[in-house]
Amino acid sequence: MKKVLFLALILGNFAFAKDMWIYNIKTNLLDPDTKAVVGEIYEGTPVNLIKKDDEFSLIEIKGEASAMDDKVLVYKNDATTGMPLVSFLTLNDKKAKSGDKFLVKSSDLTDKEYPSWEEIELVYYDTCTSCHAGHHPAEHLMNEWDAYLSAMQYFAKINDEEKARILRFLEAHAKDGFAKEEE
């Protein structure tokens, strides 16, 4: 009986490593030891939750270092061109590596994918449906969205930051994007 209980405890601990998503336009990444701010991570990024308390959560992020900026960890789906890509996080001075661990505020995580994109989805349809019907993100490939959005930036009167945020949403939910949950 005792043995069974012990095993259940161990398994319970392992089972805790869990898929979560960043639930904020962007949030600070903190060094797990010093709690100094070392970078930022963007909405909708999938992370692995390792440990959690009321204030902070220890997370691990898988991705690839960007070929254009090695402080940026990205999702990319074309190994030959290295483009297009979706930024997961940006570090201030260190090189980004897959499997890096950081602390983030626990309130900036959600255990479902869809809510992490809900706000930017509204912004997208708000911004991009005044002249034509909204195009569902899955209508196009990641690199097509990159081109379309560059063409539409002037029409939609959005600045580079707004464009980058909408592009992350569109590429993540593109036919070949990483986001899985149906909207």
* CA distance linking residue 58 with residue 101, whole number of Å: 7
Q: Which is nearer to ligand HEC, 100 or 171 (CB)?
A: 171
Among the residue ranges 11-19, 66-74, 130-138, 174-182, the one whose residues contact ligand HEC (CB under 6 A): 130-138
Please list every residue from 133 through 172 that binds ligand HEC, using CB under 6 A.
135, 148-149, 152, 155-156, 166
Contacts of 12 (CB under 8 A, 6+ apart): none
Q: Which residue shows structure tokens 């701010």?
A: 37
* Crossing angle of the two packed helices 142-156 and 160-172, in degrees rounded to 10: 150
Residue 3 binds to ligand HEC (criterion: CB under 6 A): no
Residue 62 tokens read as 């898988």
Q: To the nearest whole angstrom, how small is the minimum distance from the Cβ of residue 100 to ligand HEC?
A: 32
* CA distance linking residue 63 with residue 46, whole number of Å: 10
Q: Which is nearer to ligand HEC, 64 or 119 (CB)?
A: 119
**In this chain, which of 34, 80, 130, 159 binds ligand HEC, going by CB under 6 A?**
130
How many residues belong to the site for ligand HEC (CB under 6 A)?
12
* CA distance linking residue 178 with residue 76, whole number of Å: 9
**In this chain, which of 131, 159, 160, 182 binds ligand HEC, going by CB under 6 A?**
131
- CA 149 to chain CA centroid, Å, is 19
Amino acid making up residue 65? A
Q: To the nearest whole angstrom, how small is the minimum distance from the Cβ of residue 51 to ligand HEC?
A: 39
Residue 132 binds to ligand HEC (criterion: CB under 6 A): yes
Angle at CA of residue 164, ends 69 and 90, nearest 5°: 35
Q: Which is nearer to ligand HEC, 2 or 157 (CB)?
A: 157
Q: Which residues lie near ligand HEC (CB under 6 A)? A: 127-128, 130-132, 135, 148-149, 152, 155-156, 166
